[in-house]
Amino acid sequence: MAQAPEQRNLTLILARSFAAQLATAVFLLDAEGTIIYYNEAAERLTGRPFIEGAGNTAEEWMGRGRPLDEEGREVPMESLPLGTTILKREPAHGVTMFRLNEDSYQRIENVTFPLFAHTEDFVGVMAIAWPLDENRP
Amino acid sequence: MKGRIWGSRGSIASPGKDTRRYGGNTSCIELRPPGSDVVILDAGTGIRELGMRLVEEGTERIFLLLTHLHVDHLEGLGMFEPIWRPQTELHIWGPASPLASLQERIAMYFSPPLFPVHLSEVPARIEYHDASESEWQIDGAGFASTAIIHPGPTVGYRIESKGRVLAYLTDHEPALGADLETDAPEWISGFGLAHKANLLIHDCQYTPEEYHGRFGWGHSTTEQVAQFARKTEVDRVMLFHHDPMHADDQLDAMRDEVIERLGVEGDRVTLAAEGAELEV
């Protein structure tokens, strides 16, 4: 039969609608790890409008500045909560230093969890970023 | 593709003098794709009378597509005469839940105390097919299903035969958390199913005034149906799942409102009426 236009899985549609209503920074990635949405709070937190990040993989998106651990060491993608959830399809959390610009970092608590539409149907990842210290937007 | 409406009412069967024109039976549509056995959309109370017709015709192979398992879409199945005949081969498509199969979910209704006989005792041969996200063929007709916005696991269907497309999205609230005018199509529930369909059969339960206080109940307003139809560029819209509290005259007024909002000729927007023939 003639193919209907591609459409996001309903779980992602609902996740995006939910995130759009939140004042908490939320990122949404598809099952391949591509950034498909982040909300206004995430734009404010990172200083990057969504239009710049849409369609990037998480790896590409972080290319401007690798997150650091609390000792100032770069954290490889697979060790970040987001990387863990994409690769292992498990929830994860951790604190990282996110680079805002050349010499400015923000401590962020990250909580990431996989989205399963059905038991075996992994459709994406939701990541919540909670700014620590006094810089919460 | 031809068919017939056997039930167009939402929520609960509503017979009475105020609902005679459009009918009081809950959701059930008969489809006859060319060269195919009968395809039935939903098993509301309208399926009872259809079942008697099928027995008279001697039909033994039946395809039933359930959008979801709310009672108004399932309650007719127990009184569907073909299931009480061992020669019937019934294929049921419908959404599984994240944790339970379609068969297990139907059995929750089809067992005491809600129903006197357990599903396992039904003599017809029944095969269950998960329609959560699927595409399949029946005798040359193409079928697709995807999950759509409505409380609990719910799907819509896109049916294509001989180049003609029917989209069936009863019980659907695509405007929940979305802007149907400005959001990209990929983010609109049901868009892929309905896009450029020759006929869209869509939920139209509320007026915009009634919708306040009913957000999230899973149904659409006249305004939202018009927006969805415009966005999906369908040829014709059939308003479906009529509110049980709406009398026939109120439904006529709702149709007029959809026509005005869409700005199209009146024959492109119809109200689903029990007994009406369909041609796609």
DSSP chain B: -EEEEEE-B-SS---SGGGTTT-SPBSEEEEE-TTS-EEEE--STTHHHHHHHHHHHT--EEEEE-S--SGGGTTTGGG-GGGGSTT-EEEEEEPPPSSS-HHHHHHHHSSTTTSSS-GGG--SEEEEEE-SSEEEEETTEEEEEEE-SSSSS-EEEEEEETTEEEEEE-S--TTTTS-TTTS-GGGSTTHHHHTT-SEEEEE--B-HHHHTT-TTSS--BHHHHHHHHHHHT-SEEEEESB-TT--HHHHHHHHHHHHHHHT--GGGEEE--TT-EEE-
Number of domains in chain B: 1
- Picking from A4, A10, A20, the nearest residue to B189 by CB comes out as A10
Backbone phi, psi, residue B193, to 5°: -70, -40
Whether A129 maps to a domain, the answer reads yes
Whether B280 maps to a domain, the answer reads no
Whether B268 maps to a domain, the answer reads yes
CATH of the domain at A58: 3.30.450.20
Res B272: pLDDT: 98
| CB-defined contacts A:B, below 8 A | 66
Q: Which of B176, B191, B198 to mutate to test the interface with A (most CBs of A within 10 A)?
A: B191
Q: Is the dihedral of CA B239, B245, B247, B250 positive or negative?
A: negative
pLDDT over 90 (residue B248): yes
Whether A48 maps to a domain, the answer reads yes
Whether B91 maps to a domain, the answer reads yes
CATH of the domain at B227: 3.60.15.10
Whether A1 maps to a domain, the answer reads no
Res A31: pLDDT: 94
Number of domains in chain A: 1
Res A137: pLDDT: 43
Q: Which of B180, B182, B186 to mutate to test the interface with A (most CBs of A within 10 A)?
A: B186
The chain B residue lying nearest A118, using CA atoms, is B98
Whether A40 maps to a domain, the answer reads yes
8 Å CB contact of A6 and B186:
yes
Whether A85 maps to a domain, the answer reads yes
Res B63: pLDDT: 98
Whether A3 maps to a domain, the answer reads no
Q: What is the pLDDT of residues B27-77, one digit of tens each?
A: 999 999 998 889 999 999 999 999 999 999 999 999 999 999 999 999 999
Nearest-CA distance from B128 to chain A in Å?
Answer: 17
The chain B residue lying nearest A21, using CA atoms, is B177
- pTM (predicted TM-score): 0.88
Whether A2 maps to a domain, the answer reads no
Res A136: pLDDT: 44
Whether B236 maps to a domain, the answer reads yes
8 Å CB contact of B177 and A118:
no
8 Å CB contact of B137 and A6:
no
The domain of B175 spans 2-273
Q: What is the pLDDT of residues A53-109, one digit of tens each?
A: 888 888 888 876 788 888 889 899 899 999 999 999 999 999 999 887 777 888 999
Whether A5 maps to a domain, the answer reads no
Res A21: pLDDT: 83
Q: What is the mean pLDDT of residues B144-166?
A: 95
The domain of A49 spans 10-135
**B150 residue type, one letter:** H
- B66 interfaces chain A, CB cutoff of 8 Å: no
Whether B14 maps to a domain, the answer reads yes
Whether B279 maps to a domain, the answer reads no
pLDDT over 60 (residue B87): yes
CA triple A80-A84-A85, angle to 5 deg = 120
Q: What is the pLDDT of residues A9-56, one digit of tens each?
A: 989 999 998 998 899 999 999 999 999 999 999 999 988 899 888 888
